[in-house]
Amino acid sequence: MAMKRLLRSLNGEAVWPPPVWLMRQAGRYLPEYRAVRARVPDFVTLCTSPDLAAEVTLQPIRRYGFDAAILFSDILILPWALGHGLAFKEGEGPVLPRLRDAAGVAALDPRRLAEKTAPVMETVRRIRAGLRAEGFGNTALIGFAGAPFTVACYMVEGGGSKDFAAVRAMAYAEPDLFARLMDTLTEATIAYLSAQVEAGAEVLMLFDSWAGVLSPGLFRRHAAAPAQRIVSALKARHPDVPVIGFPRLAGILARDYAATGVDGIGIDTGSDIGAIAALLPPGLAVQGNLDPMALVAGGEALRTETRAILAAMKGRPFVFNLGHGIVPQTPPENVAALLELVRAG
């Protein structure tokens, strides 16, 4: 069978029109997602119910025919599987116990991982079977994890934060403790992503949403170095499975991140994608970076922004995406309009 379009781009080919998928493409902007979400008491139950999680993964593929399906789960399922608490409170996002000391790190138990994430692996198998059964032969399945630093951010802060002050201070003031936390998360991430490949994931993505809050020195130590360790361990086991890294808000440090061995790099909304891409190796695929709010607005703003990105990326390996996740107020018809624009090249 011919190679799927997303895999060709990640293999360094300037596929045109580019493959397209959207971060958070399954979610609350879709009425069919809200209908499934209403059947479960909480979000973690949705993530650990293979039939429902596979169903919501496939919903946006049926509607739009994206070049990739992304496993429906969450980056915080990994710490949850290690025994850390996790709740999603309506309207305020994730809430976790605050990890601030050695006892908190020692309580994380990697031996629980395989059993607790078994439903996620079953979801991956069902998505692959569903894509085949429904005739989406060109849609690649992306598995993912949060990068260790971003996962540590939520664990140390106890949820989201406007500046992630506690985790940044811990990285400086308690380097040994923080290194133990990062080590535990890095090893667990390797095992978790490797299991996703064994279950059928064809591409892996590492979400480092808060990498950009780190100083350059700490970025190299806590974003680039763990990514390199994860990518080399995965490549040793699964040499043909490409990895996309998303060091959000990294700016010019995307250059350091490109040296980790990733096959693709996600660029956030605030970065000039052409200027950043010019700093990267020409064979490295770039992914991004439409402003999710241009997708909310639609019309002329959507056309102008989309065409500027396409013009800047034509001729290099590229994957069209947003610069951050799709937001719940996005009109579904604007997503259809975007797909048409991208597919016109």
- Residue ranges binding ligand CP3 (CB under 6 A): 23-28, 37, 43, 70, 72-76, 88, 93-94, 144, 160, 207, 209, 324-325
C-beta of 94 vs 226, nearer to ligand CP3: 94
Active site residue 67: no
CB 181 within 8 A of CB 99: yes
Q: How far is the CB of 314 from ligand CP3 (least distance, A)?
A: 26
Distance CA 242, CA 127 (A): 19
Active site residue 28: yes
Residue owning tokens 């989406």: 136
Q: How far is the CB of 142 from ligand CP3 (least distance, A)?
A: 9
Q: How far is CA 42 from CA 30, 39, 45, 46, 234, in A?
A: 18, 9, 6, 7, 32
C-beta of 241 vs 316, nearer to ligand CP3: 241
Indicate the residue whose CB is closest to ligand CP3: 209
From the candidates 33, 154, 192, 257, which is the catalytic residue?
154
C-beta of 25 vs 228, nearer to ligand CP3: 25
C-beta of 192 vs 207, nearer to ligand CP3: 207
End-to-end CA distance of the chain: 24
Q: How far is the CB of 66 from ligand CP3 (least distance, A)?
A: 10
- Bridge-based pairing of strands 93-95 and 87-89 is antiparallel
Q: How far is the CB of 261 from ligand CP3 (least distance, A)?
A: 21
Lookup: tokens for 15: 């596929």
Active site residue 183: no
Q: Which amino acid makes up residue 133?
A: A
From the candidates 63, 74, 183, 303, which is the catalytic residue?
74
Lookup: tokens for 31: 């009425």
Helix (H, G, I), strand (E, B) or coil at 224: helix
The catalytic residue positions are: 24, 28, 37, 74, 154
